[in-house]
Amino acid sequence: MRAYCQAADENWPLFSFHMLSMHRFLPFYQEDGKDPVSVVESLVKRAMVDAELPPADPRILASMAIGVVVQTALNRAYGRFTEPLSAHAALMSAAAQAVLFAR
């Protein structure tokens, strides 16, 4: 979470442009397992195999955890708050963990 927030904070204009325009490219998307969502799904699945997370659908948990991050970043882009994402990394991390362990 800290690394994600730091990357966003280092070049907020570029990050927010990407975040706000990425849906325009969905028709060109080809899943190759290297996209961020697939990487998070793989990490969640591995954590379940290693018994670090309780069993569940890794696709759903990954999307919910990513939602914590993306929705927070979107609210910053919309001007609902102005401080860097890094200021909220600990809370965002706790929220993502709550999602991952919720049953």
Q: pLDDT digit string (tens) for 27-62? A: 777 778 878 889 999 999 999 999 999 999 999 999
For residue 25, pLDDT over 90 is answered with no
Burial string for 43-81 (b: 16+ CB within 10 Å, else e) reads bbbeebeeeebeeeebeebbbbbbebbeebbeebeeeee
**Residue 22 clears pLDDT 90, i.e. is over it:** no
